[in-house]
Structure 1
Amino acid sequence: MSHSPPSTAATLARSAAGTGHVPTRTTWAPSLRDAFDHRANGLSLMRLALAVVVAISHGLENGFGWQPSVNGTQIGVLAVDGFFVISGYLMVSSWNRLADVRRYAWHRALRIAPAFWLCLVVTALVIAPVAAMLSERPPLSVFTAASEPAWRYVTVNAALQINQFGIAGLGGPHSDGVINGSLWTLFYEALCYFAVAALGLLGLLRRRTWLVAAATLALWVGLVASAAGLVTLPADNLPHLLFVFMLGALAALYAHRLPMHPLLALGAGLLTLVAMLTLEDYRTVGAVGFAYVCLWLMTVIRRPQLSWDLSYGTYIWHWPIQVLLVLLGATALGPVGFTTLSIVIALGVAALSWRFVERPALAFKSARWVSPRKG
């Protein structure tokens, strides 16, 4: 047996598979690789908490016209960044575990597409007509509307990129005609998945990982230069979301070297808070700190381990539910009552989505065509 230091790829593969390995402590704290248990963790709870934070933020926006923020940084945006950090870590680990582009792409598609497509169809065929009736309009008018008809909502959004945000101008007074303002991030999530696949096919997730770090550093320099007015980046969310995603990806690549300690988490949290209080875009300074806090929480939140993953369903369904509640007059319950009611209903719908759509879809992860028998 070789006694040479294990490669990054081998380290990640063992970690992702949950097999035994020699602990790799840094000088004074356990590494992320050893602190995070890929099999026994509270990630489902953590992601559900992030989805609920997004739902609260959107509930206050849809119901009352404002979002909770710290010096312009919306709390909901912070929660979305948390999703992308965690996703970056998990996707790199997934690639190194599967080591096959077909299986990787198939797994990602099964996780996102079925529930997303159902959400589009139900929104167009059920939610929009109900919203029309609550707005004292004929329910079938949503299909014949000259602008943003319901049928088009499904067809032009089916490929994840949201090209039509509303249906026939329906919505409450604060939703700006948007029938579901949560779905747009899924397209950027998918682009990040493609980025991982591209890096994996180039071999950069197993060898020369420093090039990934260099590319992430270059992206950060671009964001800082843009914030300083020195360069102009495309008016798009991709650079910002890709950056926080890549921070999670780098954590996976260097998990054996990244120390996990509560004092570091405290310092990272303070850095994030200072960045939020002093900068227009907290990410230029605080994203690294926020990413570390997310990663540290991954290692300390181990219970409860939820068998039903309700985070995705809660995330994609809460907005249209809130639109209907606004039209029903539920804002009379006040901010706390309204957001609580919308989240309870969203959790119920998410449970149905997990039981009858998401979990059955994931059962096809090992389909024969994508995992052919050897020999």
Structure 2
Amino acid sequence: MTTAVNDRIDAFELPAVDSTPATHFITDKDLQKSSNNLNAVRLILATAVIYSHSYYPLHDTDALKPLLGWPISWFAVDGFFVLSGFLVYRSLERRDSILDYAASRVSRIWPGLMVMAIVVGLMGMFFSRLSTTAYMADPKFLEFVLGAATLRPHYELPGVQCGTALCNVNGSLWTIPWECYCYCILGILFTAAKYLGGRRAVVAALVASFALALLTDIPAVHGALAAKIGSKIYFVDQFSRLWAAFALGIALYIFRSRVPLNWIAAIGVLIAACLLQNTGFAGHARTIAAAYFVLCAGFRSGNFSANWGDYSFGMYIYAMPVLAMFITLGVHLPPIMLTLAVAAVTAPLAFASWHLVEKPALDMKSQLQRWHKARAARQEVDGIPA
């Protein structure tokens, strides 16, 4: 950041608190990849989504819903958005460049997503009841591929049926556009904050967005909105849920030195969320519980996954097509066994996606940025405008 913004941000920093054996506060060292288990946490969240989806062929929801109040996948999606807000804000604040930020977000999401859409789209012809020619000519094929590329996902492939209806081949993609909306909101917020008070302005905007999310959860307010805008209330509900989770991650990063991580407290927060499940604020209570567990797991469980790649995105975007493949083949397994089978088939795809697509795209972006900076430096030395 510029010096002026840094001065404002530094002035806002709160003093760090000494940690105790039972309680831990996130330090700058913890944020280094070699010092945390965030890679493992992301994989656990992706596997939790697979677990919930493995119940859908036979049941409406997974076996944990009666205990927790929601399918475990709801906690997982909330956890993903919290962790995304936490890490993406850190990345943006360190870079202090909206162009760099945008390039990083595009290179992280789009290449893997596009390759997945092409791979799954082509593999679908082997499970379709249509001929190859009819399959490729059907509009649903291009809708699936181009929909993923343009963040307007379509979930069906021509002739790929689960029973008598077309399969929902990749319903998990519904969260990807919302993730990108959160990126855009953060970019706008961060740019405005540079001229309106640095991190203080970010905090003020977060408080306002939390208040708005809570306001829309008041039954009378929600009912009035639903009566006014009809089915579009879906977008209000998702914004209230997902932006609030993403924004909570940003807030947790900003106040990381003041958030005590304690496993007993994590259990207490989860119990509180379960007790609040019949209230208007149940969703946000669930998000807070997911956020606290994600941070505890990421920063209080060692660093055994420090050298792993980030395979969670690949697991998330390939798991549901693999599940659909099992269903079209008529494979009937108990949900736990189906979870393990889907995870076992998806893991190599996620591994290949990271090493052959996602990481090379990120490396290429970094190389281009280094080249551009070096070129600009040479031009400045030579007296040529960059």
TM-score by length of 2: 0.82
**2:78 aligned partner:** 81
Post-superposition offset of 1:261: 2.9
Deviation at residue 326 of structure 1 after TM alignment: 1.2
Offset of residue 57 of structure 1: 1.1
Partner secondary structure for residue 199 of structure 2: coil
Q: Is the 8 A contact 1:224 1:284 kept in 2?
A: no
Give the AA of the match of 2:152: Q
Matched to 2:180, the amino acid is A
Whether 1:57 aligns to 2:57 is: no
> Once the two structures are superposed, what CA deviation does each residue of 1:148-207 show, in whole Å capped at 9, x if it has no partner?
421232223311221x22122523139863221111111101111111111110126623
- Deviation, 1:345, is 0.3
RMSD: 3.0
Read off the aligned partner of 2:244 and give its amino acid letter: F
Q: 1:86 to 1:167 in 2, by over 3 A?
A: same
Label 1:7 to 1:309 Cα distance change in 2 as closer, same or farther (>3 A): same
1:160 match: 151
Q: Distance in 1 between matches of 2:151 and 2:291?
A: 26
Amino acid at match of 1:319: M
1:105 matched residue in structure 2: 102
Quote the residue 1:32 is aligned against: 26
The counterpart of 1:223, out of the listed 216, 236, 245, is 216
Name which of structure 1's ranges 186-195 and 215-224 shifts more when overlaid on structure 2: 215-224
Q: Which residue of 2 aligns with 1:232?
A: 225
Q: Secondary structure at the match of 1:32?
A: coil
Tell whether the 8 Å contact from 1:268 to 1:290 is kept in structure 2 after alignment: no
Is residue 119 of structure 2 the alignment partner of residue 129 of structure 1? no
| TM-score for both structures, normalised by structure 1 | 0.84
Distance 1:346 1:73 in 2: 25
Alignment partners' CA distance in 2, 1:7 and 1:251: 21
Cα distance in 2 for residues equivalent to 1:42 and 1:174: 43
SS in 2 for 1:116: helix
CA distances 1:305-354 after superposition (whole Å, capped 9, x unpaired): 242221111100011111111111221x3323222111100001111111
Instruction: Specify every segment of 5 or more residues in structure 1 that has no aligned partner in the other structure, as ranges.
Output: 1-5, 14-20
- Structure 1 position 243 matched with structure 2 position 233: no
Closer, same or farther: CA 12–347 of 1 in aligned 2, 3 Å? farther
Q: Quick one: structure 1 residues 190 and 227, their matched pair in 2 at CA, closer, same or farther if it must change by over 3 Å? A: farther
Please name the residue that 2:230 is paired with.
none
Is 1:171 matched with 2:161? yes
Structure 2 CA distance for aligned equivalents of residues 260 and 35 of structure 1: 15
Q: Which residue of 2 aligns with 1:196?
A: 186
Amino acid paired to 2:261 = M
Give the Cα–Cα distance (whole angstroms) in 2 for the partners of residues 37 and 12 of structure 1: 20
Partner of 1:150: 141
Answer with 339-348 or 174-183: which moved more.
174-183
Letter aligned with residue 269 of structure 1: L
- What per-residue deviation string (whole Å, max 9, x for no partner) do you get for residues 22-76 of structure 1? 8543899543346843332110100001001101211221x32432152562211
1:142/1:168 contact within 8 Å kept: yes
Distance in 1 of aligned mates of 2:220 and 2:264: 30
Percent sequence identity is 24
1:287 alignment partner AA: T
Cα 1:122–1:196 shift into 2, 3 Å: same
Partner of 1:296: 296
Match of 1:232, SS state, is helix
Q: 1:78 to 1:11 in 2, by over 3 A?
A: farther
1:317-356 equivalences in 2 (<5 Å): 317-331=318-332, 333-356=333-356
The structure with the greater share of residues assigned to helix is 2
Letter in 2 for 1:70: K
Do the aligned residues in 1 keep the contact of 2:79 with 2:287 (CA within 8 Å)?
no
Provide the rounded CA distance (Å) in 2 between the counterparts of 1:77 and 1:115: 23
Secondary structure at the aligned position of 1:161 is classed as coil
Given that 1:50 and 1:79 are in contact with CA atoms closer than 8 Å, whether structure 2 keeps it comes out as yes
Tell me which residue corresponds to 1:255: 256
Alpha carbons 1:119, 1:317 under 8 Å: kept: yes
Deviates more, 1:110-119 or 1:200-209: 200-209
Residue identity opposite 1:191 in structure 2: Y
C-alpha spacing 1:369/1:303, structure 2 compared with 1 (3 Å): closer
Task: Quote how far apart the aligned CAs of 1:118 are.
Answer: 0.5
How far apart, in 2, do the equivalents of 1:244 and 1:310 lie? 22
- 1:16 maps to none
Report deviation, 1:227: 7.7
Give runs of aligned pairs for residues 178-189 of structure 1, distance below 5 A.
178-189=168-179
What secondary structure does 2:256 align onto? coil
